């Protein structure tokens, strides 16, 4: 189903050079549909503060709560409105090879620059099955492989990655296992983005990582960029650590969603099974913002503590 | 779900000014999936020969045989690759209001410039129901209303159209009832594209139509453009009439599909319930091409008579 | 994907013997989902008053406004709850051959006794295409072909039907063209159900029709049964004619939906593009009920005139 | 969307009493569609050998590789053909609350007796989110909660289960954490089925488990029944252990699929990302069958070692 129209083609090399990729949040209207106005604002803030790539519909963007038509539409929308300014990486992976094939084919057709691919979570498979799974989609275009055993229940071992490096489309790895694993790859010339914000500074400066696929950059894109581009900065890194810890106290994107709502840049709407952090944690976030400086966060409204009643939780949408 | 990013926004006025809009064919791979390479070639030929707009997934493009995710993907793809050069009008109408709402919302989100809307065919409805149906989607962006009672089983009467003119998004009408109906609208300042290629010359020059949404322009875009832009030309019009009659001897797009396959610009793959014209008709087409001149048709291969065995018919895809 | 489990297998001969088949209404909850409690009540009333078969998701049941998963679920539900007492005929036809194949396969898998198949409406096709379309699905199980050119824009000519009679699965024709066409088939031993309630008495007694696939029997199943089973009864037929005319003054199921809501057997919820009849017509219905006798209608609440505000119209659901 | 038709209603108490529930395999045709004939045969073998319940579309049945319409169809099919003889438990859980709601509603509508619900795998959520997720579906009918942290990446802690016991619809827990956890629940009167075949004997006789939701019973239903119903039998249990270990050497259902194909009861078709075990392991299986006795396994063909070429792997289906 390949198109050879060249307008949006991006080389795998281009993807390899990206340092700051934000796993962008998907905001919702009160009925649970996408809030594209808010989304566009979020993306514009990323552009202004220096993000170079976006993961659309990642776990942060709650791709797991989207129907595929919503998901591909959001990729197409992002390409159409922002594809000239930022690299759009669609999370078209799936634990079903069929779905990964279909979504990836569609994602490239609507112009995404690269695909993010996960190993088959939950269903899991053998090593041979994992390789067959990735082989089914790697030929379609530039691809990043995503390893996050704490979610998938199954590590992608280095030998799988080394097999996949035979494909010219493999741009690199989003690795969440830790910096030793990062180094194992970067020592062998494989591009890595850490998926752990708390390790990004060291991953970048000490372990050879190209950059980060970040959750935290949804909130403070400029500071994350500073950590990646302006040399070692352990003091800034330390200063951000309490915020990063706050963001991962519960499964992401629960804290992120809560934070963005309190910053006034998204409506306080959650698609279940996500629910907001409790009040005490919401109060903490306001303190963290004040400590780091409101001006470093996205948006320009006062940060506020939302009440329980302010949040809308939707199950049917 | 509206986005206000302005990149691809097109005013209703822009849509009103388009003269040559091609209801573009959707070509297929042997397994029934879209053949995007061939599609891109078809679109490029339209661009070169002066088409100003495309209907994506119209009845000619076999939107009725697409799943919605395919359909929206094709709109997104077209916008992404060609949206800067040609106006992309998605056929996001449906006989189900729910589907029309969902598809139109998604189509505008991926950047289509306008929507084509049909009245509820097959299921049909009352006049009040028809108006409610169109009201549900007109607010989303520039829209063309499509009237083709020979397909829908129900005429959209002028009083419905007059009600809809209250919406600033109504760009105009694709009208297939005939030139008297065309004139009834154009006399009242309503923009009309005829949907009947055999009437397009007169519609344009004698009945006030702005132009045509054409099937025939899939084959001879340059000549159709000439009919629309270079003044009255009854002799050219007469010369094309046998081709146009050939194209509508069976329900469109059966002859068109057969013709494009014989011109070598698409694979000879039909999604059922469409099947190729019989051999005798296929022979006729080759003669028509020679009579009008191969150089006036899209593609540059020799036109050929295909055998029955050359065609692939797919039911599951 | 065939199953040979015999539990619900029905022979084509069994289907041929059904006289009273009701094209059952699908009732909705205020959010537009199916109201299965009300549906089950409607079906039970049909059982009590002698209907022998149901069309599930026909045009009356608004199959055109269902997603396929809803549609197959409703067929499965009906089979599960009532399949031992009444024949369940799923309207798994489509103008897309792919969709007809997929839905028919699924419908038989969940136990439907027969399929109703329409020719490709709106998109239309050639005679050869029509035959290929039906051939793609006829092998799956007992089938009724549905001809209604006023909806489809294209008559199924007798020569197509005669070709299809080669399949042992062809149970018969639902024919809406009129009683001369009915006779043309019945003279040749082809089973016919008229799709026109105003002609059912004569079709049955003078033109050889086996019975009717009825809309009116949603309201007065017992009286329709009487017309079919108890000998010629022109006086009863005449008495019912005003009701039948009222029911078809606007595209079905608009009046039926309005009537059932006023009888208190369904919630007054319409999926767009259907909207209720205006007040004056609603008043008329109450008079018709009184004239024919409330006891002959389904339900046991007083018939009432609903206000405009009582109705809920849903576009997104 | 609830139906109150009572035909297939099953009380939660009935579900609680089931000892042997098989997580039934879904077999495929060479094009990847369901092979319902083979499926029906598999179910009949379960019936004959004493299984009392089936999980339809579990991880063993590869629900994660089904579209929802396939999945609900398979539930409806199973209910329709076998619902009078065996309890049908649909795996209508999902990591998306929306999908779990929709599928569970549809599953009960087509007559399933109970639902199996998983916590949100991969996406994960907070404790509060987990409870909200289960609360969204528990009201619909008898439900089993499934805890398998090795797949989901997140344990369902006992305090969540204790909260859910407030619902009269909670039938019990499918627990894979181990027998200490099993005992923790059974000591408190909560029904448990172990999800670990290697622990089922002890779970049943020493830890209070009601029974098992078994993978191995796809192969040897009679022997698994014996382990559950005929008193402690450590010798039989030991005898089966090598088979059970063989079955879980790679992520289930890879070995099971390989085994069933070699027993000749399913076609050797795998949906990716599953691929067959390598030859050496396939040879081992034949030895295991001979050691336990072919007559104890489903089917009556000779067990054979399949060649690599015998297997069909499908990615698009």
Catalytic residues of A: 146, 174
Q: Record the tokens describing residue C134, joined without a space.
A: 């039906």
Question: Does B144 have pLDDT greater than 80?
Answer: yes
> Which residue among the candidates B25, B121, B174, B185 is catalytic per the annotation?
B174
Going from the C-alpha of D183 to that of each of A232, D60, D200, D287, the distances in angstroms are 53, 25, 13, 35
Cβ separation of A110 and B80 shorter than 8 Å?
Answer: yes
d(C-alpha A96, C-alpha A240), whole Å? 37
d(C-alpha D253, C-alpha D173), whole Å? 21
Residue B6 pLDDT level (bands cut at 50, 70, 90)? low
Q: Record the tokens describing residue B312, joined without a space.
A: 């692939």
Q: What is the pLDDT of residue B7?
A: 59
Tens place of pLDDT for every residue, chain A, 317 residues?
778 776 567 899 999 999 999 999 999 999 999 999 999 999 999 999 999 999 999 999 999 999 999 999 999 999 999 999 999 999 999 999 999 999 999 999 999 999 999 999 999 999 999 999 999 999 999 999 999 999 999 999 999 999 999 999 999 999 999 999 999 999 999 999 999 999 999 999 999 999 999 999 999 999 999 999 999 999 999 999 999 999 999 999 999 999 999 999 999 999 999 999 999 999 999 999 999 999 999 999 999 999 999 999 999 99
Q: What is the pLDDT of residue C7?
A: 60
Q: What is the pLDDT of residue D210?
A: 98
> Residue B100: which residues within 8 A CB-CB, separation 6 or more?
B92, B93, B94, B117, B133, B136, B137
Closest CA to A261 of A243, A245, A275: A275
Three-state DSSP state, D35: coil
For D75, which residue in chain C has the nearest alpha carbon?
A: C110
End-to-end CA gap in chain B: 31
ipTM over 0.85: yes
**Chain-centre distance of CA B50, in angstroms?**
15
Chain C: partners with 3+ C-beta pairs within 8 Å: B, D
> Considering only CB atoms, which chain A residues are within 8 Å of B2?
36-37
**Per-block average pLDDT, block size 10, for chain D (317 residues)?**
73 97 98 98 98 98 98 97 97 98 98 98 98 98 98 98 97 98 98 98 98 98 98 98 98 98 98 98 98 98 98 97
Determine the residue among D123, D136, D313 to mutate to test chain A binding: the one whose Cβ has the most chain A Cβ atoms within 10 Å. Answer: D123
Q: What is the mean pLDDT of residues C181-210?
A: 98
Cβ separation of B109 and A29 shorter than 8 Å?
Answer: no
Q: What is the pLDDT of residue A8?
A: 64
End-to-end CA gap in chain D: 31
Q: How many cross-chain Cβ pairs, B to C, lie less than 8 Å apart?
A: 149
> Which residue among the candidates B121, B146, B185, B207 is catalytic per the annotation?
B146
How close does chain D come to C151, measured CA to CA in Å? 28
Main-chain phi, psi angles of B214, to 5 degrees: -110, 145
Q: What is the mean pLDDT of residues C46-73?
A: 98
Main-chain phi, psi angles of B9, to 5 degrees: -55, 135
Closest CA to D120 of D134, D106, D108, D138: D134
d(C-alpha D138, C-alpha D130), whole Å? 12
Closest CA to D98 of A196, B164, A64: A64
Question: Does C151 have pLDDT greater than 70?
Answer: yes
> Considering only CB atoms, which chain D residues are within 8 Å of C110?
73, 76-77, 80, 110
Question: Does B159 have pLDDT greater than 90?
Answer: yes
Q: What is the pLDDT of residue C8?
A: 64
How close does chain A come to D254, measured CA to CA in Å? 7
> Considering only CB atoms, which chain D residues are within 8 Å of A64?
95-96, 120, 122-123
How close does chain B come to C231, measured CA to CA in Å? 34
Cβ separation of C64 and B123 shorter than 8 Å?
Answer: yes
* Average pLDDT, rounded, for chain C: 97
Cβ separation of A36 and B8 shorter than 8 Å?
Answer: no
Q: What is the pLDDT of residue D4?
A: 75
| Minimal Cβ distance to B77: which of A3, A29, A34 | A3
Chain D: partners with 3+ C-beta pairs within 8 Å: A, C
Main-chain phi, psi angles of D164, to 5 degrees: -70, -20
Q: What is the pLDDT of residues C78-99, one digit of tens each?
A: 999 999 999 999 999 999 999 9
Q: What is the 3-state secondary structure (H, E, C) of chain B?
A: CCCCCCCCCCCHHHHHCCCEEEECCCCECCCCCECHHHHHHHHHHHHHCCCCEEEECCCCCCHHHCCHHHHHHHHHHHHHHHCCCCEEEECCCCCCHHHHHHHHHHHHHCCCCEEEEECCCCCCCCHHHHHHHHHHHHCCCCEEEEECHHHHCCCCCHHHHHHHCCCCCEEEEEECCCHHHHHHHHCCCCCEEECCHHHHHHHHHHCCCCEEEECHHHCCHHHHHHHHHCCCCHHHHHHHHHHHHHHCCCCCCHHHHHHHHHCCCCCCEEECCCCCCCHHHHHHHHHHHHHHCHHHCCCCCCCCCCCHHHCEEECCC
Question: Does C6 have pLDDT greater than 80?
Answer: no
Q: What is the pLDDT of residue B162?
A: 97
* Average pLDDT, rounded, for chain A: 97
* Average pLDDT, rounded, for chain D: 97
Instruction: Determine contact, residues D285/D258, Cβ cutoff 8 Å.
Output: yes
Instruction: Determine contact, residues A286/A305, Cβ cutoff 8 Å.
Output: yes
Closest CA to B116 of B153, B148, B86: B148
> Considering only CB atoms, which chain C residues are within 8 Å of D2?
36-37
């Amino acid at each position: 189903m390949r198109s050879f129209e060249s307008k949006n083609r991006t080389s795998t090399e281009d993807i390899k050079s990206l340092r700051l990729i934000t796993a962008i949040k998907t905001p919702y209207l009160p009925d649970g549909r996408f809030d594209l106005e808010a989304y566009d604002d979020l993306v514009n803030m990323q552009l202004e503060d220096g993000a170079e790539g976006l993961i659309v519909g990642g776990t942060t963007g709650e791709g797991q709560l989207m129907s595929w038509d919503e998901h591909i539409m959001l990729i197409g929308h992002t390409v159409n409105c922002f594809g000239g300014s930022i690299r759009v990486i669609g999370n078209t992976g799936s634990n079903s090879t069929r779905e990964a094939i279909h979504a990836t084919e569609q994602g490239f057709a609507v112009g995404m620059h690269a695909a993010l691919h996960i190993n088959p979570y939950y269903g899991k498979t053998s090593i041979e099955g994992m390789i067959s799974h990735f082989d089914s989609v790697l030929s379609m275009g530039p691809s990043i492989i995503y390893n996050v055993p704490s979610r998938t229940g199954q590590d992608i071992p280095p030998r799988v990655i080394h097999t996949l490096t035979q494909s010219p489309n493999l741009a690199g790895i989003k690795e969440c296992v830790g910096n030793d694993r990062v180094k194992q790859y970067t020592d062998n010339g494989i591009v890595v983005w850490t998926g752990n914000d708390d390790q990004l500074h060291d991953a970048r400066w000490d372990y050879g990582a190209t950059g980060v696929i970040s959750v935290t950059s949804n909130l403070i894109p400029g500071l994350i960029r500073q950590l990646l581009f302006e040399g070692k900065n352990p003091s800034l890194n330390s200063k951000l650590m309490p915020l990063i810890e706050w963001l991962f106290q519960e499964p992401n994107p629960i804290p992120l969603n809560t934070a963005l709502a309190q910053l006034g840049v998204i409506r306080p709407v959650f698609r279940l099974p996500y629910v907001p952090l409790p009040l005490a944690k919401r109060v903490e976030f306001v303190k963290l913002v004040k400590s780091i400086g409101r001006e470093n966060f996205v948006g320009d409204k006062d940060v506020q503590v939302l009440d329980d009643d302010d949040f809308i939780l939707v199950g049917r949408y």
